[in-house]
A and B are shown apart, each in its own frame.
Chain A
Amino acid sequence: MRLVIRKDFEAVSYHVAKYVKERIKEFAPTATKPFVLGLPTGSSPVGVYRNLVKFHQAGELSFQHIITFNMDEYVGLPRDHPESYHSFMWSNLFKHVDILPENVHILDGNATDLDLECQRYEEKIAAVGGIELFLGGIGPDGHIAFNEPGSSLNSRTRVKTLAYDTIVANARFFDNDITKVPNLALTVGVATVMDAREVCIIITGAHKALALAKCIEEGVNHMWTVSAIQLHPRGMVVCDEDATLELHVKTVNYFKSIEKVHEQLIGSDNVGLQGGVRSWRGGAESTYHQ
């Protein structure tokens, strides 16, 4: 797993957006080989989307051959409700870019058969060849998507009851009336996310510090479901300095030092997007030392 630490929320957002852009550029998607992207909602990815829109407006990134799958959606909320995840994705990303509407997939919380909807969602993901890169955030309780503590780490897309704390926290978007907050949601499972060929989790802010520490320094544990990333061959966490507050100094120094080696000793040009080394001319004669 790679842990990339940046100064603050803006720097994290820019880094992740740039990473996504470079990944897509490297992949060179076409109509027959589209890039399948998994997307989150919430406050963590807002900056990433803002930067992606800027790249698109500058002509550096096209969404024409990108297929997206969102992580979750409330049950029973009309699609055009301002708090639905459809609305969130529309105003933060889709309305500004050239993505094709038929390439956008978000779970339908108003389907008549919710179980079937979840099953079909998994089938749709498989039909396009699986997800290439899944972006995600993390809750203060370490949950990914709506996989609240106690969710099976082998779970797939399904209906979940929201935790009471989550409902109370969301009431602020529903006129502070908890009876108006949806109490069910459809969500991708932990395994659905980890099935992606690459997973990138965005973690910013001091209130997420404990969750980050539990997820990467302690064991794989269903009470902190993001910890499943420890078993992913290509996992990445991008966080800001505040989110590292509960990590051991040793952990933070270790990951920062790897980046330093990449930049100064190997040369950042020779390091692939995922940290693999592309070419290496080692030895004392190496010209990469400052």
Chain B
Amino acid sequence: MQYPVALQLHNFISAPSSPEPNTPLPENTPKVIKITNCRVLKDHKIVEKDAIWIQDGKIIDPHKFFWYQKRLPDVVLDAEGLLVAPGFIEAQINGAFGVDFSVPSDQETYERGLTKVSRGLLKYGTTSYCPTIVSSSAAVYHQVLPLLKPRPGSSVLGASILGAHVEGPFINEARVGAHELKALQASAKNGFQDFKSVYGFEGDTPEAQRKLSKENLHSVKIITCAPELNGVMESIPDLVKAGITVSVGHSMANTLQAEEAVMQGATFITHLFNAMPQFHHRDPGVIGLLGSRLDLPRPYYGLICDGIHVHPNSVKIAYDSHPEGVILVTDAMSAMGLSPGNYQLGNMDVTKKKDHVVIEGTNTLAGSVITLDACMRNFIQFTSCSLIEALEAVTLHPAVLLGIQDSKGVIKPGADADLVFLSDDLYVKRVFVAGQEVDLGAIDV
């Protein structure tokens, strides 16, 4: 039968034809897992009594699966009403379980340490992270950075590695924090070239420079630097173009300099309030970025939410002024995750208590040992924010900062199936990495 021309046949979108039922599936068709009875964080909302469908390590659209593949799920799991959120993303962590990422060693030892941390972090809900290297000599970077290439996570190997966060060495010695002064670089007078040679980026030949790609950049994901140092500001656009997230930190920049850094492409503030001048009402410095009125959006900011590094009221003030920008970080050091006791870590003797660590025999903090899930629980208490906002501060926000929000930090079709199941009081109960459930009891660190 001929249809009238006015039918506009070009409106037809040919959908794949459904297979006949009972056709045998091709060999090795990945199993489909349906997790029922969940409260799911989806699209800035918590959906009650929902289900999550996983195939081949990714979240799939059940609607398409039902109509086009015409199959029932192969495995059905019951979340028993738990809250299911995307796996947490850690943007700043120096080590844990006795491992320190900034201490180079032979490849095998270093990789063992990485795996130990990657697995241990799963217990706290972290399924992706940026191992952080403090200011170090070029030799250390050249040795360590090649081992920190991004790699996917698995239920056996642990959280996925997103690339390194190099905190320094182009930072201000007046705000050195716990870094070693002699590892700092006072300036980058050759601009981007200095960054490249310190970190040991490949691609020093003209040929490679023409094809500068993320592959060549030795897996650096975030760089913390002080934009007021000579040569650093001018390098920011080159760093951003190379796919790196530039963060302002360990800096004495005034607000004008900090805003200039944002205009040049910086999108993050490293542990707001720490390692920067304190807030002054006539000269708010880097903290003043939270009150900027630029054409660009205000940057994200990291908060170490252990209640010690930043006073709870300061956390609330920062959050109230810029709620969309908050990213919770641990900035944890190697004693995180160890049971209370005395340890020798690197060249430090420390005493680890339940939730903080001091230099042995003193009350001086030796760094942070908070876990990311504890940060989130503290954050809700300090700010009275909603559950959704607290969860997004450790999932969606870091994912957007790092440009990976299509695969991490969200629960939507196509994203990696990294999931954390939380009790009502937000303790981690179950974890999935790349669609496989993690045996949390078997993690021994």
Contacts and interface: CB of A to CB of B under 8 A. Distances in A.
B5 interface: no
Given A79-B67, A80-B67, A101 B72 contact: yes
Contact of B15 (A79, A87, A182): A79
Given A102-B21, A102-B22, A102-B70, 13 more contacts: A76-B12, A80-B67, A86-B63, A87-B63, A90-B66, A94-B66, A95-B66, A101-B71, A104-B66, A108-B15, A108-B18, A110-B15, A182-B11
Nearest to B12: A76
Nearest to A75: B12
Interface string A63-79: 00000000000011011
Contacts of B35: none
Contacts of B62: 90, 95
Interface string B41-69: 00000000001000000000111101111
A273 interface: no
A110 B63 CA distance: 17
Interface string B260-292: 000000000000000000000000000000000
Contacts, number: 48
Given A95-B51, A115-B1, A184-B7, A80 B63 contact: yes
B13 interface: yes
A86 B63 CA distance: 9
Contacts of A115: 1
A141 to B, nearest CB: 23
A100 interface: yes
Interface of B: 1, 7, 11-15, 18, 21-22, 51, 61-64, 66-72
Interface residues on A, range: 20 to 34
B14 A110 contact: yes
Most buried by B among A75, A101, A115, A183: A101
Nearest to B36: A96
B10 to A, nearest CB: 9
Interface in A86-111: 86-87, 90, 94-95, 100-102, 104, 108, 110
Contacts of A94: 66
Contacts of A87: 63
9 contacts: A76-B13, A80-B67, A90-B63, A95-B66, A101-B21, A102-B21, A104-B66, A108-B18, A110-B14
A202 to B, nearest CB: 25
Contacts of B51: 95
Contacts of A101: 21, 66-67, 69-72
Interface string A184-208: 1000000000000000000000000
B195 to A, nearest CB: 46
B156 to A, nearest CB: 32
Contacts of A86: 63, 67
A78 B15 contact: yes
Contacts of B22: 102
B54 to A, nearest CB: 15
Nearest to A115: B1
A282 to B, nearest CB: 50
Nearest to A94: B66
A85 to B, nearest CB: 11
B29 to A, nearest CB: 15
Contact of B64 (A80, A100, A102, A104): A80
Given A86-B67, A95-B51, A101-B66, A110 B13 contact: yes
Nearest to B76: A98
A110 B72 contact: no
Contacts of A102: 21-22, 70
The 4 residue pairs across chains A and B that have the minimum distance between CB atoms: A102-B21, A101-B70, A76-B11, A110-B15
A103 to B, nearest CB: 9
B61 A80 contact: yes
Contacts of B71: 101
A272 to B, nearest CB: 35
Contacts of B70: 101-102
Given A101-B72, A115-B1, A184-B7, A78 B64 contact: no
Nearest to B7: A184
A102 B71 CA distance: 8
Nearest to B53: A95
A84 B109 CA distance: 57
A104 B65 CA distance: 13
Interface in A4-39: none
A167 to B, nearest CB: 13
A202 B57 CA distance: 44
Nearest to B70: A101
B68 to A, nearest CB: 8
Contacts of A108: 15, 18
A80 B13 CA distance: 11
A90 B61 CA distance: 12
A93 to B, nearest CB: 11
A82 to B, nearest CB: 10
Nearest to B50: A95
Nearest to B37: A57
A102 B69 CA distance: 10
Most buried by A among B7, B66, B70: B66
B185 to A, nearest CB: 53
A9 B120 CA distance: 54
Nearest to B69: A101
Contacts of B13: 76, 78, 110
Contacts of A95: 51, 62-63, 66
Contacts of A104: 66
A112 B17 CA distance: 10
A39 B11 CA distance: 27
Given A79-B67, A90-B66, A184-B7, A100 B72 contact: yes
A188 to B, nearest CB: 19
Nearest to A112: B14
A114 B22 CA distance: 24
A78 B68 CA distance: 12
B12 A110 contact: yes
Contacts of A183: 7
A87 B14 CA distance: 17
A80 B72 CA distance: 18
Nearest to B64: A80
A108 B63 CA distance: 15
Nearest to B11: A76
A104 B11 CA distance: 26
A50 B21 CA distance: 28
